[in-house]
Structure 1
Amino acid sequence: MTGLSVEMLAADTVEPITSAGHAQLGVAVLAGIALIVLLITKFKLHAFLALTIGSLALGAFAGAPLDKAITSFTTGLGSTVAGVGVLIALGAILGKLLADSGGADQIVDTILARASGRTMPWAMVLIASVIGLPLFFEVGVVLLIPVVLMVAKRGDYSLMRIGIPALAGLSVMHGLVPPHPGPLIAIDAVGANLGVTLALGVLVAIPTVIIAGPLFSRYAARWVDVPAPDRLIPQRTSEDLEKRPGFGATLATILLPVVLMLSKALVDIIIDDPANMVQRVFDVVGSPLIALLAAVLVGIFTLGRPAEFTRERISRIVETGLAPIAGILLIVGAGGGFKQTLIDSGVGRMVLDISEDWSIPALLLAWLIAVAIRLATGSATVATVSAAGLVAPLAADMSTTHAALLVLAIGAGSLFFSHVNDAGFWLVKEYFGLNVGQTLKTWSVMETIISVVAGGLVLLLSLVI
């Protein structure tokens, strides 16, 4: 989904590592993606190795020197692991604490007691949307995974029936609603009004998440019927269940990083002075790393004490919590490396160059450009920034509402069809225990539905406001 910080986006503006023309680059992209899919599906090669080989092959097909292709891949891998890997690790520790202490059981029992089979997907999409409002997609995933898996397991639900609504809630918030970085960058680029964009973003997000979440999950569950993977659901003994934290303490622990990040976003909007001490403090405590670290440390007391965990038990929980995600970290990192190779090869610039001569309405143009860059580079954030930079001059003559809709059109396009060049694709695949084909039929289709529905609603709103 993301995997790139705002600072990393500068990589899209540096000199490409190859001088290949558009035709050669296009062939290189298709060949690289096809090779990755072939290695994984046909030859059953581990995704980490397939992504590594595919990245180097892409560079070779594009005519890039091998040393520069290697540098691009390792830079992308390192940056992705640095930005996302630590968050996944902290989230895994928090998830293990939730599971072993009985806190996740408490949340699951409460949800199962208040939601029936028909309302469960709606409950999950609501929870994910609220939690996902201030969170990066990856943080939301690692916080919700224990709850999603345990609800599916304990309630005997199809994993896709529960998981797709949760993923839809997170993804829609990420692409359409400030204070997520993509919409904020687009707002700044086109000079849109934050409040109007936020209001219209929520208006577009509600029907979009309903269609892509609870409604689509019915079909996703039929297409891909898989159980929740046991390796990410820690088993607890019967005596452990006698002592567990209360629902309030567990919920407060889960929501702590959400509150810290949302507080940072609100302070940034209200004060808007980087030199202000209050804003500087919230910039630190509201960063994803500190917010999740704080949740882990608080969870040791709010979750560990009621379960009567010793220091040695907590140490074992941290150790065993990290073990299942080692492969996930490498795969997500390699996905980031492949994406960076695409960007450094000049694929994003190629898409922009081709789109400059398109003569279509501004909102549709913005959506199409974001779609093309998303498909080519795999990064929703890169697609948002690049498309916003290209269409920003068109916003000069727009009304306040249409400038906000331009931002939303870009955000909608940036979510289109996540596939093998997106680190988020591999994150979802590994967490839910899917193969590549199953991930394409569920996660990738869901992302496409979000993009098309949101884009259509934006165009519709442009006709009536």
Structure 2
Amino acid sequence: MSALSVELLAAATPPPITDAGNTRLALSALAGIAVIVVLITRFKLHAFLALTIGSGVLGSVAGAPLAKTVTSFTTGLGTTVASVGTLIALGSILGKLLADSGGADQIVDTILARTSEKRLPWAMALIAGLVGLPMFFEIGLVILIPVVLLVARRSGQSLIRIGIPALAGLSIMHGLVPPHPGPLAAIDAIHADMGTTLALGVLVALPTLAIAGPLFGRVASSWVHVSPPERMTPARASDELDTRPSFVATAGTMLLPVVMMLAKALADVFVDDQGSLTYRIFDVIGTPLIALLAAVIVAMFTLGRAAGFDKERMSATVDASLAPIAGVMLIVGAGGGFKQTLVDCGVGQTILDWSKDWNISALLLGWLIAVLIRIATGSATVAIISAAGLVGPLAEGMSTSHTSLLVLAVGAGSLFFSHVNDAGFWLVKEYFGMDIPQTLKTWSAMETVISVVALGFVMLLSVII
């Protein structure tokens, strides 16, 4: 097993902080989630406070010592902010430079000029799929958000109809297609072939994206009507500028972190000697933090300088980009804290214990286990790794293609129904300016459609090949 798989698997299955039985753990998870939803929807409490209180209720009902519950929550919050917060900040700076320089206007104007109104959702799905290939969901989201919001505002179309295809493209790549960490770890645990899994993953991802993205987006837009939030939507900068960056320069700057991370992913696959200088170079430049930081620095010249920004204007732009995301980072961090409390209390392990005696198809079993762990813990990565570890022995004797399909079934299950214990849920809610019921009807429903549709294609392929 690779170092990445060992590290993630260890993080996914820590020793429980309580000796509560399975029934009590299930009730504690339900109580914690219910408290969060009620505090936010009925009492209008800020999500950060609701998640904090909900984590305390979870630990109390589970019988965990208060000190250990607090430690789990703060550890999860700190880990999430450390891993995601810096990326959100860098992505916000890049987005602000993109907007203030007129670069976002250039991208949006080009998309609108060359794409018909009916094809806009399909164009957003394609762009998001390409951007999401080497990127974590959160990174791709903060990079694409300015474009999504501006396209929705300028085209006059529903934010949901434009945004759902972009979210679907990012999410599907994250859960089904290596080199994302979850699929990579599952490939290692199940001993699947990388190339076969990648090929079949793309084969499943494309029709799933069409159904869960543009097609479902049309349906979801009839359920929920929201406008791009003013605090997140960049103002049109072109009218105040004498010049603006070219389309090529803007697109190149946006794709720079994508290319850097994709280069690292390819090096992971094709470079055998992980101690070689070539591998170490790509390993560094493809780190999300380095890739986004490089993109921000490059953007200061290709976007800021091209628009005539002086040092003072550049500094003001960076300062202005950070204030709107303070609340987002706290909410996302608290979501990570709640997730870690669930994991540390042993909820995920409880589901694994319940599933040991199930007698069903290995593909369906892997999907169901991943679904239950995803719903309980909120983490797609924890779900895919835990489920893959459990069903891994069932892959013995399977053909190469069916072993890869088992990886994809587990990956599909790990995307099922994101809700209040998932940091991604809060990211989408805040960026799109929705309330909890609206987010459940759009984002959560989209994730469920992805999971079910992808499983359907996996089962179909298992019959054909």
Query: Which category of TM-score, normalised to the shorter sequence, fits these structures?
Result: over 0.9
Aligned-partner Cα distance in 1 for 2:6–2:253: 28
* Corresponding residue of 1:319: 319
Give 1:274 shift: 2.1
Give, in whole Å, the separation in 2 of the partners of 1:245 and 1:454.
40
| 1:23-422 map, 5 Å | 23-236=23-236, 239-422=239-422
Per the TM alignment, residue 238 of structure 1 is displaced from its structure 2 partner at its CA by 5.9
Structure 1 residue 420: Cα displacement = 0.3
- Structure 1 residue 9 displacement after superposition: 4.5
Give the conservation status (yes or no) of the 8 Å contact 2:105–2:238: no
Aligned residues, how many?
462
Q: CA deviation at 1:285?
A: 0.4
- In 2, the alpha carbon distance for the partners of 1:74 and 1:403 equals 38
For residues 9 and 88 of structure 1, the distance between their equivalents in structure 2, rounded to whole angstroms, comes to 25
Tell me by how many angstroms 1:12 deviates.
Answer: 3.1
CA distance in 2, matches of 1:113, 1:93: 27
TM-superposed deviation, 1:241: 3.9
Distance (Å, rounded) in 1 between the aligned partners of 2:106 and 2:52: 41
In structure 1, give the amino acid aligned to 2:109: D
| AA of the residue aligned to 1:414 | S
The alpha carbon displacement at 1:236 in A equals 4.2
TM-score (norm: length of structure 1)? 0.98
Letter in 1 for 2:134: P
The AA in structure 1 aligned to 2:204 is: V
Query: Aligned partners of 1:77 and 1:111: how far apart in 2?
Result: 38
Matched residues in 2 for 1:156 and 1:229: separation?
Answer: 14
Residue 413 of structure 1: how far off its partner (Å) = 0.2
Distance 1:336 1:183 in 2: 21
Deviation at 1:219, TM superposition (A): 1.1
Q: What is the CA deviation profile of residues 293-336 of structure 1, one whole-angstrom value per residue up to 9, with x for unaligned ones?
A: 00000000000111100111111111100110000000000000
Q: Deviations over 1:14-63 (max 9, x none)?
A: 22000000000000000100000000000000000000000011000000
Q: Give 3-state SS (helix, strand or coil) of 1:125's partner.
A: helix
Give the TM-score normalised by structure 2: 0.98
> CA offsets, 1:322-368, max 9 Å, x none?
11000000000000000000000001100000000000010000000
Counterpart contact for 2:146–2:234, Cα < 8 Å: no
Distance, in Å, in 2 between the alignment partners of 1:105 and 1:319 is: 21
Report if aligned partners of 1:11, 1:343 keep a CA contact under 8 Å in 2: no
Structure 1 residues 6 and 155 mapped into 2: Cα distance closer, same or farther (>3 Å)? Answer: farther
8 Å contact kept, 1:95–1:146: yes
Shift of the 5–429 alpha-carbon distance from structure 1 to 2, 3 Å rule, reads farther
Counterpart of 1:428 in structure 2: which amino acid? V
Task: For residue 454 of structure 1, report the CA deviation from its aligned partner.
Answer: 0.2
For structure 1, list consecutive stretches of 5 or more residues without a partner in the other structure: none
3-state SS, counterpart of residue 304 of structure 1: helix
CA distance in 2, matches of 1:411, 1:42: 34
After superposition, give the CA deviation of every residue in 1:86-118 in whole Å (9 maximum; x if it has no partner): 000000000000000000000000000011110
CA separation in 1, counterparts of 2:155 and 2:223?
A: 20
Q: Is the 8 A contact 1:73 1:340 kept in 2?
A: yes
What do residues 146-191 of structure 1 show as CA deviations (whole Å, max 9, x unaligned)? 0000000111110001000000000111111111111100001111
Change (3 A) 1:49 1:228: same
Shift of 1:239: 4.5
* Greater CA drift, 240-249 or 31-40: 240-249
SS in 2 for 1:298: helix
In structure 2, give the amino acid aligned to 1:453: V
Query: For the structure 1 residues 160 and 462, does the alpha-carbon distance in structure 2 shift closer, same or farther, using more than 3 Å as the test?
Result: same
Residue matched to 2:433: 433
User: Aligned-residue CA RMSD in angstroms?
Assistant: 1.2
Could you list the structure 1 runs, at least 4 aligned residues long, displaced by more than 3 angstroms after superposition: 4-9, 236-239
Deviates more, 1:351-360 or 1:11-20: 11-20
After superposition, what is the alpha-carbon deviation per residue over 1:252-299, rounded to whole angstroms, capped at 9, x for unaligned? 000000000000011111113221111111111001000000000000
The amino acid across from 2:103 in the alignment is G
Task: Work out the CA distance in 2 between the residues paired with 1:448 and 1:96.
Answer: 32
Q: Following the alignment from structure 2 to structure 1, what is the Cα–Cα distance between the partners of residues 141 and 238?
A: 28
Q: Distance in 1 between matches of 2:337 and 2:69?
A: 10
Taking the aligned partners of 1:82 and 1:6, their CA distance within structure 2 comes to: 20
CA distance in 1, matches of 2:189, 2:120: 39
Contact 2:102 2:238 in 1 (8 A): no
**What letter is aligned with 1:289?**
L
CA–CA distance in structure 2, aligned partners of residues 345 and 274 of structure 1:
37
- What does the per-residue CA deviation read over 1:206-252, in whole Å, with 9 as the maximum and x for residues that have no partner? 11000000000111111111100111123245642431000000000
Unpaired stretches in structure 2, ≥5 consecutive residues = none
User: Is contact 1:12–1:346 with CA below 8 Å preserved after alignment?
Assistant: no
Change (3 A) 1:106 1:434: same
Aligned residue for 2:20, secondary structure, equals: coil
Q: Which amino acid aligns with 1:378?
A: G
Q: Distance in 2 between matches of 1:316 and 1:277?
A: 39
Q: CA deviation at 1:8?
A: 5.5
Q: Which amino acid aligns with 1:120?
A: L
In the alignment, the residues of structure 2 paired with residue 94 and residue 238 of structure 1 have an alpha-carbon distance, to the nearest angstrom, of 17
Provide the rounded CA distance (Å) in 2 between the counterparts of 1:254 and 1:349.
Answer: 40
